[in-house]
Structure 1
Amino acid sequence: MARCVDVVGHGGVRLAAWEFTEGGDPAAEERPAVVLLHGLMGRAEHWASAARWLSRHYRVVALDQRGHGRSEKPGSWPLDRDVFVADVEAVIERLGLGRVALVGHAMGALIAWRLAARRPDLVRALVICDMRAAALGAVSQRELRGWLSSWPLPFPSRAAARRWFGEEDPSLDHPSPARGEFFAAVMAKRADGWRPVFSRRQMLAAREGFAHDAHWDELAGVSCPTLVIRGVDGVLGRAEAHEMVRVLPAGRYADIPDAGHLAHLERPHEWRAIVEPFLTETAPRRSAKR
């Protein structure tokens, strides 16, 4: 089960943090914490499957980042990467999570490693899922802007959205049911049909805050054990991933065949087989009872 906890983030923005507990276990707050951070245009709900098995051993919190999911979407607020980092910092401190393991996908991974570099006292381990450390560049921003403009909004139903993103989108090389499910989950019914719960303009602006910079120096400042995972067909290339691991003081690498950018959704069992032992290894040791 999951319950939504409102947390005040940077600048007073209301954030929706979702706590997952196995069977409503009251002892969950005593367990080491894992914080799950979705990528651009995602939402905490995308981590539900992973949260179910994680919650057997950890206190699991997944955050709807500002502008996403059920978190506040004010018309005017800072969109630079620092505010997203400050939001996660606020969630960890205000929920009393202690030193956490951060698991981030795409933009969520960048936010996670920036926080790990800035506040090593808050982060004990880090999992980076398919996020590049090199600059994405102006071309990628133009491509994203064009793709966002191509969406045939409004969709007549959630199923139509699922079908377009998973099968009919001309930018697809092949059908992707996981991609269809990803975007179907971020659609909400409006008066004229189904539209995204976020502002596409704000998503583009949020990405502008990190797309033009490289992030190698920040990565080098992460001292905790860090696992870099890539889907073999994702956006993070093998050579760059290995360079990220080399730059990280305590980095290690894993990849998932037959998976792309959404490897944790496309191949959840393979993803779990990689992440679970890493989190077990880096979890704090319990004191032996006398």
Structure 2
Amino acid sequence: MTPVTKILRRDDVELCVTDYGGDGPDVVLLHGLAGSAREFLPTAEALTGSFRVLLLDQRGHGRSTCRPSDLSRQAFVDDVAHVIETLSLGRSVALVGQSMGAHTALLTASTRPELVERLVMLEGHAAGHATGEESRKIGEYFHSWPSPFPTTEDARTFLGESPLAKAWIEDLEVVSGGLRPRFDPDIMEQAIAAVHVPRWEEWERLDVPTLAIFGEDGMFTEEQISELVRRRPSTQQVVIPRASHDAHLDSHEAWIAVLRESLS
């Protein structure tokens, strides 16, 4: 089956969903901050033999509405619920997310458990941050991009050759004057600030089977990972050796092996 792009509308936002097709139960994939569904296409390809895969460009990202008026965590959750209710006809799905997408998936599973059969979080956490400093630094970084980039090579020179940089470069949009990211820096700063609010209450009441996956060289310390499991002992945990925060990009085969085992 050829992947089909579908546009769903909810309030003042257009949500772009890639229906990758496939045979079997539905799996919904959620990218992280400043990403898009595109970076999960190899994951979708690996799963379609056993699952129907849906990939959402979350609001403010990719080909969904770039500057939504509501960037609350509830708005992101309601978007995911709308996708499941519309395209999966309300049947429960396996919900898989990375980083900010994992946070969205966690909150969706906690508040709408009837829609989620299984939760898989890659490099996601509920602890948040004590201050807004991290959000500000992220916003400053994205504001530092000399956008639009005149050429792909200019983008590569600035962003580098990492798997994450390659994913950003592949997703650049052609505009007058060159290539620009499919997100606005100020929107990214606002979106991640909401993620940095602690969500232990939602985490501890989570009532669906949950796998928390981390990269050995990822964002979180051993202490932070241990706290996540301590606060919810039924959580399964896997650490992918030599993987980063973006394990789906830099440790693809190991990521797929862990994901397939969880979903099966």
Q: TM-score range by the shorter chain?
A: over 0.9
**1 CA distance for matches of 2:183 and 2:20?**
23
Aligned to 2:5: 4
Aligned residues: 261
**1 CA distance for matches of 2:30 and 2:100?**
8
**1 CA distance for matches of 2:165 and 2:195?**
26
The 3 A distance-change label for structure 1 pair 186 and 38 is same
Aligned to 2:207: 223
Alignment TM-score, normalising by the size of structure 1: 0.85
What is the RMSD computed on CA atoms of the aligned residues? 1.6
Aligned to 2:184: 199
Q: Shift of residue 32 of structure 1?
A: 1.0
Is residue 2:89 matched to residue 1:100?
Answer: no
| CA contact 2:81–2:108 (8 Å) conserved in 1 | yes
Aligned to 2:144: 150
Q: Shift of residue 4 of structure 1?
A: 0.7
State the AA in 1 paired with 2:85: E
**2 CA distance for matches of 1:271 and 1:182?**
17
**Pairs within 5 Å for 1:239-278:** 239-248=223-232, 250-278=234-262
Aligned to 1:182: 167
Which consecutive residues of structure 2, in runs of 5 or more, have no partner in the other structure? none
**1 CA distance for matches of 2:50 and 2:90?**
14
**2 CA distance for matches of 1:245 and 1:3?**
38
| CA contact 1:159–1:184 (8 Å) conserved in 2 | no
| CA contact 1:103–1:109 (8 Å) conserved in 2 | yes
| CA contact 1:104–1:110 (8 Å) conserved in 2 | yes
Percent identity among equivalent residues?
Answer: 36
SS in 2 for 1:189: strand
**2 CA distance for matches of 1:160 and 1:247?**
46
**Pairs within 5 Å for 1:95-134:** 95=87, 96=89, 98-134=91-127
Q: Shift of residue 124 of structure 1?
A: 0.8
**2 CA distance for matches of 1:164 and 1:251?**
39
Which deviations, in whole Å up to 9, do the C-alpha atoms of 1:185-242 show, x marking residues without a partner?
Answer: 331121111111111111111112222x111111112111111111111112222122
**2 CA distance for matches of 1:245 and 1:7?**
36
Is residue 2:210 matched to residue 1:210?
Answer: no
State the AA in 1 paired with 2:17: A
Aligned to 2:83: 91
**2 CA distance for matches of 1:163 and 1:237?**
31
Aligned to 1:18: 18
Which deviations, in whole Å up to 9, do the C-alpha atoms of 1:27-52 show, x marking residues without a partner?
Answer: x4xx2110000011111111100101
**2 CA distance for matches of 1:139 and 1:68?**
22
The 3 A distance-change label for structure 1 pair 179 and 163 is farther
State the AA in 2 paired with 1:182: A
2:56 aligns with one of 24, 46, 63: 63
2:69 aligns with one of 48, 55, 77: 77
Which consecutive residues of structure 1, in runs of 5 or more, have no partner in the other structure? 23-27, 168-175, 281-290
Q: Shift of residue 142 of structure 1?
A: 2.3
**1 CA distance for matches of 2:204 and 2:210?**
11
State the AA in 2 paired with 1:8: R
**1 CA distance for matches of 2:98 and 2:31?**
5
SS in 2 for 1:121: helix
**1 CA distance for matches of 2:202 and 2:220?**
17
Which deviations, in whole Å up to 9, do the C-alpha atoms of 1:67-88 show, x marking residues without a partner?
Answer: 11111224x5111111000000
**2 CA distance for matches of 1:230 and 1:159?**
32
Q: Shift of residue 89 of structure 1?
A: 0.3
**1 CA distance for matches of 2:159 and 2:215?**
19
